[in-house]
Structure 1
Amino acid sequence: MKFIIYFLFLLIACASSYAQSNQAIVMKYDANGNRTNKKVITLSQTRSLSESQDEEIFENEFIGEKEIRVYPNPTKGQLQIKIIGTNANLPKTITLIGMNGTILIRKSASDNDYTLDLSPLSSGMYILSVQMEDMKKEFKIIKE
């Protein structure tokens, strides 16, 4: 498990030069840790969205049969986390990890809709980990 985390941080550190040039690398992995998809995306700094449009900008990710939506990404402060297809009382752990590997935020949540305030943090890339039961999903978060 530590190897996967170190490997992930190494990949993100290598990708930091892309983020500085308004590009990011998005990689997807299967349950065994094998990379299944790699995509370079260009981030736009000039877009302006209303709050109603922000809710529509997310990528569907799944833990088993449970859907997780994390939006908006990139974010300027408030990050929304919605979990669909699970009991609201199921305990969840939400962890935000900095690029140097330090845990910046760790919260226990029982609600399926959660808001994480990133406004006090500096601009950059972070790893968001959502864990429920024995399943975990990680997201690359960009704070503008």
Structure 2
Amino acid sequence: TVTVFVNPVGVSELINKNNVRLYPNPTTGEITLEMDGGESNEWRITVSDLQGRTVVEKLFNSNKINLKLALDNGVYVVRITNKNRNEKVIKKLIINR
């Protein structure tokens, strides 16, 4: 008997205690991020392409931020962490100009 365990590979949203919204998605390049609650108002947003290269990294001190992204069409990974770098949420972002 052979047992095979399969783990799916891809980007999925993590369950988190903060309510995080990213919109519009898909976008033409301008997005809004909103975080409800949480123990920190200091956040780091990192946008990476699907090869893992960081294309945008920003720090902000608000629970709502508007970003204009000058990125090519495609799928990106948005990672939002608090000031202690504890991972809070990962979202998939689609840019379609």
TM-score with structure 1 setting the length: 0.54
- Percent sequence identity is 24
Richer in helix (by share): 1
Partner of 1:122: 72
Which has the bigger relative contact order, CA under 8 A and spacing at least 6?
A: 2
**Cα distance, 1:76–1:67 mapped onto 2, change above 3 Å:** same
Partner of 1:108: 59
Superposition CA RMSD, Å: 2.4
**C-alpha distance in 2, partners of 1:108/1:130?**
10
Q: Gaps spanning 5+ residues in structure 2: where? A: 1-6
Aligned counterpart in structure 1 of residue 46 of structure 2, from 95, 108, 133:
95
- The count of residues paired between Structure 1 and Structure 2 equals 88
Instruction: Confirm or deny: 8 A CA contact 2:13 2:89 kept in the other structure.
Output: no
Instruction: Confirm or deny: 8 A CA contact 2:27 2:95 kept in the other structure.
Output: yes
In the TM superposition, 1:47-66 aligns within 5 A as 63-64=16-17, 66=18
**C-alpha distance in 2, partners of 1:136/1:78?**
22
Q: Does 1:83 align with 2:35?
A: yes
TM-score with structure 2 setting the length: 0.77
Q: Gaps spanning 5+ residues in structure 1: where? A: 1-6, 13-26, 31-62
